[in-house]
């Protein structure tokens, strides 16, 4: 069954609907599993409403294979009629898959007018359609949806004032009908008021959440959808964070889940094997071989991350940091000392040493994460890691060797925040 609605007529009656969900920017940074994991979770939650609107950037570029992939994923998961709004990445064969770029969805309770401004200008046919729809007596509670935001108080990544004036000239005679402006494009979210009308900007449906201004930090925004719904005769909205697992189909299938877990472990072992061999090659002077092994190691890590993304439970940013600290505390307080003692009891002295050393370092990890939880106060911009045992150090000026394993200072790896 195809849930994506290929729009072939500019005006579409959608009958007695009372809600829809907006999902922003699922595919502009690629259709890798980590991005699509967020998108399908958003689709699963959004399917509780009467229909779904994607606020643009379904694909990274307009190649047919990307449209095929995103269409297959959407049709497999959506569960409700899904309409697409063109974003600046949605080039190429967009109309072949999704149809018209300017159209109106006219329901009994509210109307959504979709306008194409992906190239930072509103098309003449879209503005003409908007004027025609607003003039219809049956159209009320109107949402005007587009990709690029209008000029606002938070970001400059918007259409020009001149373009906004073109839009305003059309809706101004019917301004009381317009209840919302809705858009995507910005990989975050914010709410503003433009010309007395609420502007909802949402780009939290797959693309990596970004810092977009001093006021809008990535750490304060989670992946999300925006629900629009009728309540006591009024059109309202609510932002819903994707902090729960809504899409569970693949995680709940026992054999598939087991294979995914095995794949994560296998890829991470490959990652370690390649890194270890890279060190051997480096010490023997085979720089190019070492470089190849590091590249392969990074590739294996990305594979593991993709498999893990299907299994991972979404967690809010600060809750995740807190969870990391608790995990480190458990390891150095209980788990590693216990296993170290067990290893010693059966003569496993190498394992004993590995667990004992790790326990010492996990304590410092927990302390560093505790400091990082105070986001605005955290000021460590340079850290050092011993490549032999993994000890993390914040300063090395007064030491010559690793305080845990004794490796020479010249081998330490430096991690510095780039300006």
Domain for residue 3, yes or no? no
Q: Which tokens is 219 given? A: 């750490």
Residues 234 and 118 in one domain: yes
Q: CATH no. for residue 416? A: 2.20.28
Residues 90 and 191 in one domain: yes
Mean pLDDT of 152-181: 96
Residues 33 and 133 in one domain: yes
Higher local confidence (pLDDT), 279 or 318: 279
Distance (Å, whole) CA 270 – CA 30:
24
Q: Which tokens is 59 given? A: 């694909």
Mean pLDDT of 303-319: 86
Domain for residue 2, yes or no? no
What is the predicted pLDDT for the residue at 366? 87
Segment 12-62, tens digit of pLDDT: 999 999 999 999 999 999 999 989 999 999 999 999 999 999 999 999 999
Residues 264 and 227 in one domain: no
Residues 171 and 33 in one domain: yes
Domain for residue 26, yes or no? yes
Instruction: Answer with the one of 221, 241, 261 that is the final residue of a domain.
Output: 241
Mean pLDDT of 222-251: 94
What is the predicted pLDDT for the residue at 321? 86
Asked if residues 372 and 378 have their Cβ atoms less than 8 Å apart, the reply is yes
Domain count, the chain: 4
Residues 118 and 263 in one domain: no
Residues 359 and 413 in one domain: no
Domain for residue 6, yes or no? no
Mean pLDDT of 234-240: 97
Could you tell me the pLDDT band of residue 170, with boundaries at 50, 70 and 90?
A: very high
Asked if residue 413 has pLDDT above 90, the reply is no
Residues 151 and 273 in one domain: no
Mean pLDDT of 376-404: 87
What is the predicted pLDDT for the residue at 236? 97
pTM of the shown model: 0.85
Sign (positive or negative) of CA dihedral 209, 214, 219, 222: negative
Round the average pLDDT of the chain to a whole number and report it. 92
Domain for residue 336, yes or no? yes
Asked if residues 145 and 55 have their Cβ atoms less than 8 Å apart, the reply is yes
Structural domain that includes position 339: 315-374
Burial (CB count within 10 angstroms: exposed 0-12, middle 13-18, buried 19+), residue 109: middle
What is the predicted pLDDT for the residue at 354? 85
What is the predicted pLDDT for the residue at 67? 96
What is the predicted pLDDT for the residue at 200? 97
> What sections of 78-217 are H helices per DSSP?
94-98, 124-134, 161-171
Residues 298 and 356 in one domain: no
Instruction: Answer with the one of 197, 217, 241 that is the final residue of a domain.
Output: 241
Segment 115-158, tens digit of pLDDT: 999 999 999 999 999 999 999 999 989 999 999 999 999 999 99
What is the predicted pLDDT for the residue at 213? 84
Higher local confidence (pLDDT), 301 or 53: 53
Asked if residue 93 has pLDDT above 70, the reply is yes
Segment 57-91, tens digit of pLDDT: 999 999 999 999 999 999 999 999 999 999 999 99
What is the predicted pLDDT for the residue at 73? 95
Domain for residue 225, yes or no? yes
Which of 124-133, 251-260, 345-354, 399-408 has maximum average pLDDT?
124-133
What is the predicted pLDDT for the residue at 419? 63
Residues 137 and 147 in one domain: yes
Q: Which tokens is 98 given? A: 């999704």
Domain for residue 152, yes or no? yes
Residues 205 and 64 in one domain: yes
Asked if residue 230 has pLDDT above 70, the reply is yes
- How many Cα atoms within 13 Å fall on the side-chain side of residue 156? 1
Instruction: Answer with the one of 314, 339, 355 that is the final residue of a domain.
Output: 314
Q: How far separated are the first and last CA of the chain, in Å rounded?
A: 49
The C-alpha R_g of the chain, in whole angstroms, comes to 26
Question: How distant is the alpha carbon of residue 339 from its chain centre?
Answer: 37
Mean pLDDT of 322-342: 88
Residues 30 and 163 in one domain: yes
Asked if residue 418 has pLDDT above 80, the reply is no
């Amino acid at each position: 069954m195809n849930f994506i609605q290929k729009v072939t007529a500019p005006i579409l009656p959608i009958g007695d609907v009372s809600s829809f969900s907006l999902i922003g920017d699922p595919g502009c940074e690629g259709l890798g599993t980590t991005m699509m994991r967020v998108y399908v979770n958003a689709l699963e939650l959004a399917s509780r409403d009467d229909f779904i609107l994607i606020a643009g950037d379904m694909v990274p570029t307009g190649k047919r294979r990307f449209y095929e992939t995103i269409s297959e994923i959407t049709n497999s998961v959506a569960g409700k009629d899904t309409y697409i709004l063109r974003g600046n990445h949605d080039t190429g064969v967009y109309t072949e898959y999704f149809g018209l770029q300017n159209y109106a969805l006219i329901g009994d309770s509210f109307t959504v007018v979709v306008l194409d401004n992906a190239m930072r200008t509103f098309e003449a046919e879209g503005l003409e359609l908007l004027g025609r729809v607003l003039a219809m007596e049956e159209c009320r509670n109107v949402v005007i949806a587009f990709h690029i935001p209008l000029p606002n108080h938070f970001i400059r990544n918007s259409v020009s004032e001149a373009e906004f004036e073109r839009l305003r000239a059309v809706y101004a005679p019917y301004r009381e009908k317009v209840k919302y402006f809705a858009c995507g494009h910005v990989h975050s979210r914010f709410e503003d008021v433009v010309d007395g009308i609420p502007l909802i900007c949402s780009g939290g449906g797959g693309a990596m959440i970004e810092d977009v201004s001093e006021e809008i930090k990535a750490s304060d925004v989670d992946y999300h959808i925006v629900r629009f719904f009728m309540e006591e005769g009024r059109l309202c909205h609510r932002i819903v964070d994707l902090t729960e697992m809504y899409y569970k189909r693949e995680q709940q299938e026992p054999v598939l889940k087991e294979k995914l877990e095995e794949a994560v472990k296998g890829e991470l072992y490959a990652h370690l094997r390649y890194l270890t061999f890279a060190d051997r090659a480096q010490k023997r002077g085979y720089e190019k071989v070492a470089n190849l092994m590091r590249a392969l190691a990074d590739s294996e890590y990305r594979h593991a991350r993709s498999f893990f993304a299907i299994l991972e439970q979404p967690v809010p940013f600060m809750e995740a940091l807190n969870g990391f600290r608790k995990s480190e505390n458990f390891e150095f307080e209980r788990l590693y000392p216990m296993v170290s003692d067990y290893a010693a009891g059966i003569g496993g002295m190498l394992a004993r040493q590995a667990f004992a050393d790790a326990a010492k370092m996990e304590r410092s990890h927990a302390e560093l994460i505790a400091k990082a939880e105070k986001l605005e106060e955290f000021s460590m911009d340079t850290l050092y890691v011993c490549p032999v045992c993994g000890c993390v150090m914040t300063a090395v000026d007064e030491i010559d060797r690793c305080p845990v394993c004794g490796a020479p200072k010249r081998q330490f790896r430096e991690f510095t925040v780039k300006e």
